[in-house]
Amino acid sequence: MLSPTAHMPDRFPARHANVIPIQPATNDTESRQGTVRCSTCSMRSICMPPELSAEDLAKLDTVICSSRSVKRGDTLYRAGDGFQSIYAIRVGSFKTVVMHRDGREHVTGFQIAGEALGLDGVCAGQHNCDAIALEDSVVCIIPFAKLEVLCRELRPMQHHIYQMMSSEIVRESGQMMLLGTMSAEQRLAAFLLNLSKRFKRRGFSPAEFNLRMTREEIGCYLGMKLETVSRMFSRFQRDRLVCANGKTVKITDPDGLARV
Amino acid sequence: MLSPTAHMPDRFPARHANVIPIQPATNDTESRQGTVRCSTCSMRSICMPPELSAEDLAKLDTVICSSRSVKRGDTLYRAGDGFQSIYAIRVGSFKTVVMHRDGREHVTGFQIAGEALGLDGVCAGQHNCDAIALEDSVVCIIPFAKLEVLCRELRPMQHHIYQMMSSEIVRESGQMMLLGTMSAEQRLAAFLLNLSKRFKRRGFSPAEFNLRMTREEIGCYLGMKLETVSRMFSRFQRDRLVCANGKTVKITDPDGLARV
DNA sequence: CGAAGTCTTGATCGAGGTCAAGAATTGTGG
DNA sequence: CCACAATTCTTGACCTCGATCAAGACTTCG
């Protein structure tokens, strides 16, 4: 584990996050959002295990007590940055990007409100990818060292973190299958249905939503070129499966889309 | 049924170092109820965190105390099987395969001695893929519920499990990048160099080793057809980067391979 | 030994990449 | 508010890498 004195990359203002000592609430100098409380957060049913008692939640509030705003296009963290915290998205959305030394980029995921960021950093003590906001966003900062302490006390939290990491492993397996075996058409269909499902889970319309990412970013996630993404959208439109107008997408025939 | 001793598959000539099963120091005669001891296992430096005390190891021995033999071609677990344990490979190697309902298969990983299997099961309480032995193998059985208890007591173990899961996330990110952005030639080169590195880590020759998987399995892992795998091997041979003879591979120009 | 599985190589084809041009959308400053 | 520049998106024409089909060689094993 990195020592608490591990230096902060200078592109991050030093007041950020993890250097804040073990002190509850009031001190979040860097947050533009004020105090964060899991105990009263509307996203809790998505972020946290259901079986936490009021007492457990109080403990949680001492660990997760600061947030951070990230403007569209800005990075939450970059590959190589020292790892101190994981993040839960409160508002907005992100993409995670890994880069090969030759400059080749690949989008490994899109994350929306209620989802976690940064789990890849535990492994080597430094982040493995860039996390970039697709729109103005707010994240809860979860200092990982403190979380580990908490997880030794609260069995449900411990299990929940294992589940979160395992889910990410399973998600990536599915994405590998998509990239390894599906046609461009099938990939885009799977992508849209997956987004739809996640929006639905959060109480939004599964049928109509706004894409926060460009065709190029979608392509980079699905392993194809932006022109191909555009062509597949046109094909779906022609086949009356979706009605796509720029970033606005309306899924008119989800079953048909699933059968592609 | 289960063979009492892990034997070396005789189809592999003995002159290749890594063919010799990576034998733990203890003589473990058998499956399932055979005694396994992390405290005296030669793989421990690969499987476990270094900072465990003798006392910690004794605790570990109460959790990880049985092993299981899996014959070539047999499954350790299947997608859908209830999740109870994770596994550490003592001897041999495996592939993990996810299947789409339409029958499409994708190999998500190859695991060799010292590596873990089954972490994908935590998420939904059931395994997400099939784990199939590529050769006669032996795994340590690690009951996950007991491991969780242990991790609440032993900080280094707790952190180690987080690291293992995070490593898997990072590994899969890299594989997604490979599948999403690289040419067939680059994929095979990256695959061979990755295997080489893992063998080296275990004290075997990084330059010469035996593939335990078929061209088809490699292709299914790298998102290409077996014919393409074969063609790429021939191309590397022509360019004097590797000397491939069926399953025997000798990397003659690792730098050249990395530059592909 | 023969059968089944695995590997190599050639010939051909097509999905998706590349290049190009123009349309639509978004953002910015006056 | 509009004008205009910068992104982003769509569509067409063409080309390439890797898939597909096919045949034969080699390996493994009962």
> Which protein residues, judged by their CB atom, are less than 7 Å from any atom of strand C?
A 183-185, 223-225, 227-228, 245-247; B 214-216, 226-227, 229-231, 233-234, 244, 246-247
User: Is residue A55 helix, strand or coil?
Assistant: helix
Look up residue B7 and give its two tokens: 């034997």
Q: Are residues B46 and B165 in the same domain?
A: yes
Q: Are residues A134 and A197 in the same domain?
A: no
Q: Are residues A228 and A155 in the same domain?
A: no
Report yes or no on A139 lying in a domain: yes
- Final residue belonging to a domain, choices A156, A174, A192: A174
CATH code, domain with B104 = 2.60.120.10
CB atoms within 10 A of CB A40: 10
Look up residue A23 and give its two tokens: 């002190």
Report yes or no on B1 lying in a domain: no
Look up residue B76 and give its two tokens: 């350790």
Report yes or no on A212 lying in a domain: yes
Per-residue pLDDT tens over the stretch B74-116 = 999 999 999 999 999 999 999 999 998 888 899 999 999 999 9
The whole model's pTM is what?
Answer: 0.87
Per-residue pLDDT tens over the stretch B176-199 = 999 999 999 999 999 999 999 999
Q: Are residues B59 and B157 in the same domain?
A: yes
- Final residue belonging to a domain, choices A111, A139, A174: A174
Q: Are residues B53 and B139 in the same domain?
A: yes
Instruction: Classify burial at A143, counting beta carbons within 10 Å of its beta carbon; exposed 0-12, middle 13-18, buried 19 or more.
Output: buried
Look up residue A123 and give its two tokens: 């492994």
Q: Are residues B165 and B209 in the same domain?
A: no
* Total number of domains constituting chain B: 2
CA–CA dist A138, A69 (Å, integer): 4
Report yes or no on A160 lying in a domain: yes
Report yes or no on A168 lying in a domain: yes
Q: Which residues of A touch B179 (CB under 8 A)?
A: 176, 179-180, 223
Q: Are residues A232 and A124 in the same domain?
A: no
Q: What single letter denotes the amino acid at residue B161?
A: I
Q: Which residues of B touch A179 (CB under 8 A)?
A: 176, 179-180, 223
Q: Are residues A75 and A107 in the same domain?
A: yes
> Which secondary-structure segment (H or E) carries A107?
strand A105-112
CA–CA dist A206, B131 (Å, integer): 34
Q: Look up the domain containing B139 and give its range.
A: 38-174
B59 in Cβ contact with B153 (< 8 Å): yes
* Strand D contact nucleotides, protein CB < 7 Å: 8-13, 17-22, 26-29
CB atoms within 10 A of CB B35: 13
Report yes or no on B52 lying in a domain: yes
Look up residue B125 and give its two tokens: 């309480």
Interface of B with A (CB under 8 A): 98, 100, 104-106, 108, 119-124, 128-129, 148, 151-153, 155, 158-159, 161-163, 165-170, 172-177, 179-182, 220-223
Q: Are residues B45 and B119 in the same domain?
A: yes
Residue-wise pLDDT tens for chain A (260 aa)? Answer: 333 333 333 333 322 222 222 223 333 334 445 678 888 888 898 889 999 999 999 999 998 879 999 999 999 999 999 999 999 999 999 999 999 888 889 999 999 999 999 999 999 999 999 999 999 999 999 999 999 999 999 999 999 999 999 999 999 999 999 999 999 999 999 999 999 999 999 999 999 999 999 999 999 999 999 999 999 999 999 999 999 988 999 999 999 999 98
Instruction: Classify burial at A92, counting beta carbons within 10 Å of its beta carbon; exposed 0-12, middle 13-18, buried 19 or more.
Output: buried
φ, ψ dihedrals at A125, nearest 5°: 75, 10
Q: Give the model's confidence band at B34: pLDDT under 50 very low, under 70 low, under 90 confident, else very high.
A: low
Q: Are residues A58 and A168 in the same domain?
A: yes
Report yes or no on A22 lying in a domain: no
The tokens 């200092």 sit on which residue?
A143
> What residues pair up with B97 in beta bridges, in sequence order?
B107, B130
CATH code, domain with B199 = 1.10.10.10
Q: Are residues A64 and A136 in the same domain?
A: yes
- Final residue belonging to a domain, choices B125, B145, B174: B174
Q: Are residues B140 and B96 in the same domain?
A: yes
Predicted pLDDT at A35: 75
What string of DSSP letters covers A230-258? HHHHHHHHHTTSEEEETTEEEES-HHHHH
Report yes or no on B27 lying in a domain: no
Sheet holding A137-143, edge to edge: A66-70, A137-143, A85-91, A116-117
